[in-house]
Amino acid sequence: MSGRIHSELFKSKVMSAQDAAALVQNGWNIGFSGFTGAGYPKEFPVALADVINAAHDRGEEFKVGVWTGASTAPELDGALARTGGVSYRAPYQSDPDMRKAINTGVTYYQDIHLSHMAPQVFQGFLGPLDLAVVEASGIDADGNIIPSSSVGMNRTYLEYAKHIIIEVNEWQSEDLFGMHDIYYPIGALPPRRAPIPLINPGDRIGDQVMRIKSEKVIGVIVTDDPDRNSPFKPLDDDSRAIANNLLDFLSNEVKQGRLPKNLLPLQSGVGNIANAVLAGLLDGPFERLTSYTEVIQDGMVDLLDSGKLTVASATAFSLSPEAAHRMNENAAKYREKIVLRPQDVSNHPEVIRRLGVIACNGMIEADIYGNVNSTHVMGSRMQNGIGGSGDFTRNGWISSFVTPSTAKGGAISCIVPMVNHVDHTEHDVQVIITEQGLADLRGLAPRQRAQVIIENCAHPDYKEPLREYVKFAATKANGQHTPHDLATALGWHVRFLETGTMQA
């Protein structure tokens, strides 16, 4: 029996993952914990995949809807996607097998802003939730859940679901207790919604544990499995150049008096470039930094260790194995400086706007007028999803996007005449950064933006073709505000699909 379960009632509900999975019925919607590979249930989804496969082998239909906080791991998204039994998936994923299920048309995917997921569930927009399966680092004597390495959608799913299964994971540090801040009033519906009383990134405004109705709990599973902690790639020259361009820009903002010396709360997306930006901050001139973001990755933990970052607010970790080990060993120390919140608080538009968050996210491509595509490859294929990038971009003090100027060995320009899908419109995007340079779009009209984006950000191989497009579009366009030649605007993508390169 696990020493992490302090409630007698819940001790009596311990069962195997297989027995728990056998309780699921065809057609159920299941809300799983998990955000960027942290705090997702590890054994139940694999057991559920076996149940689905066995039903399919018998020739029976068995499909489930899969709701999460954000991306999970091969044991959850991967295992379930491979069954072909996921009918619906929301809101963010990055698993190769789930991506395949979506792009082959097996799974319907709804790419919802992460801050919208909880309100949409409570508003009833996504239908009923039959089951919540949530990882915990423990259950206290009163039957409350002590969260693990992510909070994400857990509070919402535990409240909204008809049934609950808890995975108590002994791999997670017990010292995570006290790191979480579960703010309940945010679940209220209009007209009972009230302002969120969060003034500084590190403020604690809620509970340390999540309350549940014990009668809804149909099973408790005990596990001892690590999170999906992927190592970061070593920093390459492009990532370093992109990071330096952003840091120079921020230094100049301080010089111009538009930002205080310790900047404003930072949000940084996931991935290697974001980590390079954080590494750059470690060597940079800024002190007493704060962060109001959704994921805490290695670079942020290093910044906390160095004392350059005083506090980090997020909803989850996204750590390398080495940093996860460090976190597990030292959670009691880190919980003084780290707050993990539900994703509808970490990503709340009003809070982000009021705190003045500096947003920096990755993108697939941008067009010459400043529209950004974060999600689609060549018009139709889903990569990951919008995640929290929209929450932070529209509401940030400064909203920036980073990408290498080319992809696939130079066959693709990440600066194109027209994006093949728009996630972030020209109205929201203020700064675009590649290894070539930085385009500051603030105060510029579309035709002015085209000039700085092409000259500062495009790869030398694509600069002249982009300049030619601008000239040609001006002769064909039916207006000179955002001149386009609709017949050729997506021609570069078409050429890539037909020939394997955007180069003429």
| Residues with catalytic function | 294
What is the residue type of 458?
A
CB nearer ligand 0RQ, residue 71 or residue 169:
71
Q: Across the chain, which distance is largest between two alpha carbons, in Å?
A: 77
Which of 31, 202, 271, 396 is the binder for ligand 0RQ (CB under 6 A)?
271
The residue of the chain with the least Cβ separation from ligand 0RQ equals 387
Which of 49, 259, 377, 418 is the binder for ligand 0RQ (CB under 6 A)?
377
∠ Cα 289 291 297 (to 5°): 110
Q: Does 361 bind ligand 0RQ (CB under 6 A)?
A: yes
Q: Does 36 bind ligand 0RQ (CB under 6 A)?
A: yes
Q: Does 388 bind ligand 0RQ (CB under 6 A)?
A: yes
Written as one string, the DSSP assignment of 425-443 is -TTT--EEE-SS-EEE-TT
Q: Does 428 bind ligand 0RQ (CB under 6 A)?
A: no
Which of 9, 407, 422, 470 is the binder for ligand 0RQ (CB under 6 A)?
407
Minimum CB–partner distance for residue 117 and ligand 0RQ (Å): 11
Per-residue binding string, ligand 0RQ, 243-262, x by CB under 6 A, is --------------------
List strands edge to edge, sheet with 289-292.
338-340, 309-314, 289-292, 266-268, 358-362, 398-402, 431-433, 438-440
Quote the CA–CA distance of 424 and 373 in Å, as a whole number: 7
Written as one string, the DSSP assignment of 218-274 is EEEEEE------PPPPPP-HHHHHHHHHHHHHHHHHHHTTSS-TT-S-EEE-SSHHH
Cβ atoms of 496 and 503 within 8 Å: the answer is no
Can you tell me which residue has the tokens 């909803």? 315
CA distances from 239 to 244, 250, 279, 318, 388 (A): 9, 17, 10, 19, 21
Can you tell me which residue has the tokens 């340390």? 208
Phi, psi (deg, nearest 5) at residue 256: -80, -5
Q: Does 270 bind ligand 0RQ (CB under 6 A)?
A: yes
CB nearer ligand 0RQ, residue 423 or residue 426:
423
Which of 291, 384, 405, 436 is the binder for ligand 0RQ (CB under 6 A)?
384
Q: Which of these ranges, 133-141, 224-232, 269-277, 322-330, lies near ligand 0RQ under the rule CB under 6 A?
A: 269-277
Which of 374, 395, 430, 436 is the binder for ligand 0RQ (CB under 6 A)?
374
- Name the β-bridge partners of 359: 267, 399
Taking alpha carbons only, the member of 314, 309, 273, 319 closest to residue 295 is: 314
Q: Does 389 bind ligand 0RQ (CB under 6 A)?
A: yes
Q: Does 280 bind ligand 0RQ (CB under 6 A)?
A: no
Minimum CB–partner distance for residue 304 and ligand 0RQ (Å): 19
Q: Does 387 bind ligand 0RQ (CB under 6 A)?
A: yes
Minimum CB–partner distance for residue 91 and ligand 0RQ (Å): 9
Give the footprint of ligand 0RQ on this chain (CB under 6 A): 36, 70, 92, 114, 269-271, 273, 294-295, 361-365, 374, 377, 383-384, 386-389, 407-408, 412, 414
